[in-house]
């Protein structure tokens, strides 16, 4: 039986209203979204504390409008909200990070930023008890239960419906190098998976309407497909379009959502800067008639697997240079160089990664550290880099306590 039959259709699927929203959108506004696992700091197990944490967020005017749930009750997300440029988004998100981590401290829980939990069983997960998430649980069943993953998303305002679709179509080829750069989930089920982003394998290979969409070409083709999904009862709201890059119906943005959550706060911002620059540069190139035809799905998918499997250590196929094989780092560097004009325009500085999270974690494992020790160190690093003032305060308090003894 169709779980969606007879349900009310979300206003976000009023495609004429959505088209008008894109036509009136403001270019290159920025929004950031970061997801965290809620963890018991002693045992390192996932803690089923979302409802409690979210309720406490309502007592903080800033967190009340920026904290959100993401399917499972061991996860919380914070959103910067709309900023006029990238620097503004960073400042908004810094304050939200600080308040969320301070709240976690008061609750006696830790926040972890990695694409997966290294050993927690998805069978122990609980779906958040809301009508929205209960519907997803009924519709997706095992798929919803299995999605025990954490990521980060970037929104960039793109004016014009046809333009937004063209930008999303083209950026499909940027997904593999951006994923490789962000790779931060090598561990699952208590072992090294051999992958650099097992999160992506779990999410994009199980959820419907996920991963790399086929190019639409223009708004008319895009809207026609979404209308067909709506009329046939396949979707009742636009959030059921889980593609790794997509036009966002509610905000008039292009949202890129391929990347793993980042253990280090500075790397999360650096990655977001590059993503924002790529979206803005694609829109600029479209305006100037320089945006190439999008790659075919099978070409993007080949490089996506290479990103999942080998991350920054691997190679990718340069389809635009006659299927030449090049180091993945070269593909990332190409994105950095290409997006530089747009990043300067929107104030998005990119600091290169020497090694990403997956590389550091695997190096630590090879040096003899246990997966539990690596995860604990990652949680400590997350707190230190996402909420530096809070971490410094705790260090000072410990020092004072030692002095008194």
Tell me if 32 is assigned to some domain: yes
Number of independent structural domains in the chain: 1
Tell me if 364 is assigned to some domain: yes
Tell me if 330 is assigned to some domain: yes
Q: What are the pLDDT digits (tens) for 339-370? A: 999 999 999 999 998 899 999 999 999 999 99
Residues of the domain holding 285 = 11-404
Q: For 281-311, b where at least 16 C-beta lie within 10 A, e where not — what string?
A: bbbbbbeeeebeebbeeebbbbbbebbbbbb
Query: Cα–Cα distance between 59 and 47 in angstroms, integer?
Result: 21
Tell me if 303 is assigned to some domain: yes
- What's the mean per-residue pLDDT of the chain? 94
Q: What are the pLDDT digits (tens) for 33-75? A: 999 999 999 999 999 999 999 999 999 999 999 999 989 999 9
Q: What is the pLDDT of residue 1?
A: 33
Q: What are the pLDDT digits (tens) for 294-316? A: 999 999 999 999 999 999 999 99
Tell me if 4 is assigned to some domain: no
Tell me if 209 is assigned to some domain: yes
User: SS3 helix, strand, coil % of the chain, rounded to 5?
Assistant: 55, 15, 30
Q: What is the pLDDT of residue 5?
A: 47
Q: Are 175 and 278 in contact (CB under 8 A)?
A: no
Tell me if 3 is assigned to some domain: no
The arithmetic mean of pLDDT across residues 267-291, rounded, is: 98
Q: What is the pLDDT of residue 11?
A: 82
In 3D space, the residue among 341, 334, 331, 343 whose CA is nearest the CA of residue 274 turns out to be 343
Q: What is the pLDDT of residue 396?
A: 60
Can you spell out the DSSP letters for 10-78?
PGGG-HHHHHHHHHTPPTT-EEEEEEEEEE-TTT--B---HHHHHHHHTTSHHHHHHEEEESEEEEEEE
- Which CATH number belongs to the domain containing residue 134 in this structure? 3.30.590.20
Tell me if 36 is assigned to some domain: yes
């Amino acid at each position: 039986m169709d779980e969606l039959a007879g349900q009310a259709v979300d206003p976000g699927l009023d495609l004429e209203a959505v088209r008008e929203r894109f036509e009136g959108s403001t270019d290159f506004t920025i929004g950031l979204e970061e997801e965290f696992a809620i963890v018991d700091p002693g045992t390192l197990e996932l803690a089923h504390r979302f409802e409690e944490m979210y309720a406490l967020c309502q007592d903080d005017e800033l967190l009340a409008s920026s904290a959100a749930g993401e399917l499972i009750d061991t996860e919380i997300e914070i959103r910067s909200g709309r900023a006029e440029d990238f620097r503004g988004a960073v400042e908004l998100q810094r304050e939200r990070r600080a308040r969320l981590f301070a709240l976690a401290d008061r609750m006696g829980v830790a926040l972890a930023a990695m694409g997966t939990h290294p050993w927690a069983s998805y069978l122990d997960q609980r779906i958040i008890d809301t009508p929205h998430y209960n519907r997803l649980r009924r519709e997706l069943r095992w798929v919803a239960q299995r999605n025990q993953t954490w990521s980060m998303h970037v929104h960039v305002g793109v004016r014009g419906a046809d333009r937004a679709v063209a930008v999303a179509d083209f950026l499909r080829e940027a997904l593999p190098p951006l994923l490789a750069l962000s790779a931060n989930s090598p561990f699952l089920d208590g072992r090294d998976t051999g992958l650099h982003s097992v999160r992506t394998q779990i999410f994009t290979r199980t959820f419907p309407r996920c991963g790399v969409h086929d190019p639409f070409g223009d708004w008319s083709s895009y809207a026609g497909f979404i209308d067909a999904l709506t009329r046939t009862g396949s979707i009742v709201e636009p959030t059921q379009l889980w593609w790794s890059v997509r036009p966002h119906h509610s905000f008039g943005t292009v949202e890129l959502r391929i990347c793993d959550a980042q253990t280090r706060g500075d790397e999360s911002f650096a990655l977001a800067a590059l993503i924002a620059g790529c979206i803005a540069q694609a829109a600029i190139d479209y305006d100037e008639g320089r945006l190439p035809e999008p790659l075919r799905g099978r070409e993007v998918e080949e490089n996506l697997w290479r990103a999942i499997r080998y991350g920054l250590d691997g190679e990718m196929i340069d389809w635009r240079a006659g299927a030449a094989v090049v180091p993945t780092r070269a593909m990332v560097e190409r994105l950095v160089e290409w997006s530089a004009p747009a990043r300067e325009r929107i104030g998005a500085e990119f600091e290169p990664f020497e090694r990403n999270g997956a590389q550091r974690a695997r190096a630590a494992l090879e040096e003899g550290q246990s997966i539990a020790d690596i995860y604990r160190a990652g949680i400590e690093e997350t707190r230190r880099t996402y909420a530096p003032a809070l971490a410094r305060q705790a260090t000072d308090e410990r020092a004072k306590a030692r002095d008194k003894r």
